[in-house]
Structure 1
Amino acid sequence: MHIITVQESFLEVISEVESGKIDQEPIWVARRDTKHEESSELYSIVVSIKHGHLALTMGESSPHHIEMVRNNSYKFTMTIEDTNGRHVYSLFFPKSKLHLGLRSSKISTCAISPNGSRLLVGTDSGSILQYDTATEKLLGKIDDAHLADVAHLTVLPSSQVMMSVGTDLQTKLWPLGPTPVSSPARVFAEQKDQISDLAIIDRGRNFLTASREGSVLLWECSTGQVVSTFRRIDNFNDPVTCMALAEGEPVSAENTVGGDLLFGCSNKLLYVGYKSGIVQQYSVAGHYQTGIRFQRPSEVSLLLVESAYLLAGYSDGLLRIYDISGSSQKTGTKQGQDTAASYWDLQLNPNFPIECATVHKRENSETGLLLVVSNGPELLLRVDFDGTNFQTSQLIGLSEMFRIVSMGSNGDKTFVATENEIVQY
């Protein structure tokens, strides 16, 4: 596949030309093939006004014929004709950018509150910053929230409490008020290796943490107790890389493990991704490994659930969408057997893992999905899935050699964090 990068100031150049500040200005566009990452083609587009309208014309230094058309303020269509034919690329620029101006640290993760009012940013120095999304102003900072990188942040459904996970192997609960507080309400520390994922159940009385030492822990928030531990039966030490929650049939009271320490867990299913390439399903309330299992020969790097679909990203750049509509706590499959299920594959850049993603149902569609997916340096994609086929567009306009560290969404807004900026598409 091709990766397109465009001069970061492209939209600013267009604005200056349209306002009359400058007559014309060349901008660069680069294209490289994932089969040959070491080399790229450099093109020139001249931005000017012709006959009263914006004109984007090919510069003299371009190796092949290139055309670019503006569809709206943030979407462009680019066409390149080379010896292999005609290639059409849909390109989306961010609608807004937030430059944090961090001098001694980098962004390591971010989260947005469910009510959309707060943006939380974790850094590789262990700090957590809180921003007002309406004004983009910094409301405060928690210094040394963790002893090392803040690896995960999430806000509970009430938008009044947040949780953070650090590479110091601690998970912390924080009140989320007008300004940050310096001390957590509770600290959860039980796992002995890197905490690879965090998942909130229902309103947050229970939550799950996953670890590279092979375990997933189910916690009760108010007591700080571990209710259950989940490990894959045929390999207790298979490192857990990611997880996702889904809904199934409720577990009866007599088969529930955890009693009074479970809240909103009775119908929850847990999909856990492993370094071995296995995705295993568990019953949360029943505390058992079900017969649902999927496997590929590459490490699972990402799991998301939306409607009847399980989205799995892998270390070899494959995005697989499983139909899990019939995969609800099946017990007829023997342990160790893979489950038969319909799936659809999209091979992206095979040199890098699928790292981050968001997913929503497409409007007016029973089977369609809209995804934003990151897949290595300088590759951020919008993926439209109609239930059978994929269509990809590239999200561009970020700084050169960007690397996505986190994503979040609120309504139809998608927030993407690199190591030094946060943008909204």
Structure 2
Amino acid sequence: MVIISIQPSFEEVIHDVEIGNVEKDQFWINILASDNVEDGIALEEIVEVSKEDELKFHNKNGLIFERKISKDVNYELTYDSLKYKIKTPKRKLTINDTINILTSFDVSQDQSHFLVCTGQGDIIIHDMDTFSIKAHIHQAHLSTISKSLFFPSGKVILSSGLDYQIKVWSIDEVTSPARVFKGHTQDITDLAMVENGRNFFSASKDGFIKLWDCGSGSNIRTLQRSNSIRDGVTALKVTNQQSNTKFESSFDSNEFGTSGKNLFAGQNSGIVTLFDLNTKEEVLHFNSLNDKVNVLVDQSTPDELIVGYGNGIIAEWDIRNPINPITEINLNGEINSISRSGSDLVISYGSGYIFQIDGKFKELRNQTIYAGIDDNFKFTTQRKEEIYAANNQSEIVVF
């Protein structure tokens, strides 16, 4: 698989030539095989930009670069007879604050606000239209914030820290948390909402998954992998249930929205465990692909799941065949995040490359490149037709 990256400032180069600041200029395009990502071994192509009656792009080795003005793409690249679409940001923001390193990022469902969290334990909420700060929760946690989510309402935030605590915050009243949940004994790695957020799950390196009730603050149920209780849980995904359970259903009076759902839990060993939420029973597990699970993404059917691993593998699994994945690709760089854009997958991996491929892995070589940004964009999320990305230096972009 070929990965393509473009000089982050290439649009500035084009703009300077277009308005006549310079007669001509150039930018680079790096082309590398995915198995060379860690080594950084790339073929560098130079695109020369000039303008007579119109802009012209020229490459000595036959690479074709074109500007395309459309809803979906801004440019198109043809290399080795294959076409690649190129997207550039609609908006960019560098957060001017005291953030040292960004550790979590989320956008509200209505796209009115976004939040960033820091290694100092702060949560900073921004207005999406103006990018102004709505609220800054100083030391929301005693140390690094590992995960943060907006509730579906967009008015409340759920956060977890390496202080082993989970907290609920109102974005209109941030002086103290509305709820504090305690029970994990090691780092909390992921959070997953159930429907409107009355209940949620937390995962931890202690090997436990806890189901919580926001209303009462109680821990309703604790789940764990049956034959390896010390296998830390690294990722969670709640999906709708396909098959009928053979066990008797088991629900708590404070449990809401779990009926008819499954919970997938990715683990440090690389195992993915499936729990039936009607019964809270472990149903099956997908075999390990030799590194920890970083990301879980549901497919169009409840039987299927996309899994991203620390070793750069992305695999599509089916619960009807948990021994071997249906399809897999190896990017040879740690999978940071996977978001959906329609039926496609937007993937950040390695040092923060972002690209988009068909969600069924059918056209791996016909990808969409996310350009006009530096590396380190490891956080991505999708809202409606837009992709939001953030890097750990607190730069936010919207595609």
- The TM-score with structure 1 as length reference comes to 0.84
1:151-185 deviation digits (Å, cap 9, x = unpaired): 211111111211011122211100123xx612111
Structure 1 range deviating more: 379-388 or 191-200: 379-388
**Structure-2 change in CA distance of 1:341 and 1:7 (3 Å):** closer
1:225-245 deviation digits (Å, cap 9, x = unpaired): 111111111111111111111
Q: CA deviation at 1:98?
A: 1.3
Structure 1 residues 125-204: aligned runs within 5 Å:
125-177=120-172, 181-204=174-197
For 1:355, the equivalent position in structure 2 comes to 336
**Structure-2 change in CA distance of 1:176 and 1:255 (3 Å):** farther
Contact 2:357 2:363 in 1 (8 A): no
Q: CA deviation at 1:415?
A: 0.5
Q: CA deviation at 1:103?
A: 4.8
Q: What is the CA–CA distance in structure 1 between the aligned matches of 2:382 and 2:289, rounded to whole Å?
A: 31
For 1:339, the equivalent position in structure 2 comes to 322
For 1:288, the equivalent position in structure 2 comes to 281
2:69 maps to which of 59, 69, 72: 72
Q: What is the CA–CA distance in structure 2 between the aligned matches of 1:140 and 1:20, rounded to whole Å?
A: 43
Q: What is the CA–CA distance in structure 2 between the aligned matches of 1:176 and 1:407, rounded to whole Å?
A: 22
Q: CA deviation at 1:21?
A: 3.3
Contact 1:3 1:378 in 2 (8 A): no
Structure 1 range deviating more: 135-144 or 87-96: 87-96
For 1:57, the equivalent position in structure 2 comes to 58
For 1:112, the equivalent position in structure 2 comes to 107
Unpaired segments ≥5 residues, structure 2: none
For 1:372, the equivalent position in structure 2 comes to 346
- The TM-score with structure 2 as length reference comes to 0.89
1:339 counterpart letter in structure 2? P
Structure 1 residues 236-315: aligned runs within 5 Å:
236-248=229-241, 255-290=248-283, 292-298=284-290, 299-308=292-301, 309-315=304-310
Structure 1 range deviating more: 254-263 or 156-165: 254-263
**Structure-2 change in CA distance of 1:19 and 1:378 (3 Å):** same
Q: What is the CA–CA distance in structure 2 between the aligned matches of 1:354 and 1:16, rounded to whole Å?
A: 36
Q: CA deviation at 1:340?
A: 6.0
| Paired residue secondary structure (1:126) | coil
1:12-69 deviation digits (Å, cap 9, x = unpaired): 2222332333332222222333434243333322222232x221123xxx7x443311
1:154 counterpart letter in structure 2? L
- Root-mean-square deviation (Å): 2.5
Q: CA deviation at 1:87?
A: 5.5
1:333-356 deviation digits (Å, cap 9, x = unpaired): xxxxx73687222x2422x22220
Q: What is the CA–CA distance in structure 1 between the aligned matches of 2:27 and 2:273, rounded to whole Å?
A: 48
1:405 counterpart letter in structure 2? K
Q: What is the CA–CA distance in structure 2 between the aligned matches of 1:264 and 1:249, rounded to whole Å?
A: 16
For 1:406, the equivalent position in structure 2 comes to 379
> 2:372 matched to 1:397?
yes
Unpaired segments ≥5 residues, structure 1: 328-337, 363-368
Q: Aligned pair count? A: 389
Contact 1:238 1:275 in 2 (8 A): yes
Contact 1:277 1:296 in 2 (8 A): yes
Identity of aligned residues (%): 27
> 2:3 matched to 1:3?
yes
> 2:399 matched to 1:418?
no
Contact 2:211 2:219 in 1 (8 A): yes
Q: What is the CA–CA distance in structure 2 between the aligned matches of 1:256 and 1:79, rounded to whole Å?
A: 55
Structure 1 residues 91-110: aligned runs within 5 Å:
91-110=86-105
Q: What is the CA–CA distance in structure 2 between the aligned matches of 1:134 and 1:161, rounded to whole Å?
A: 19
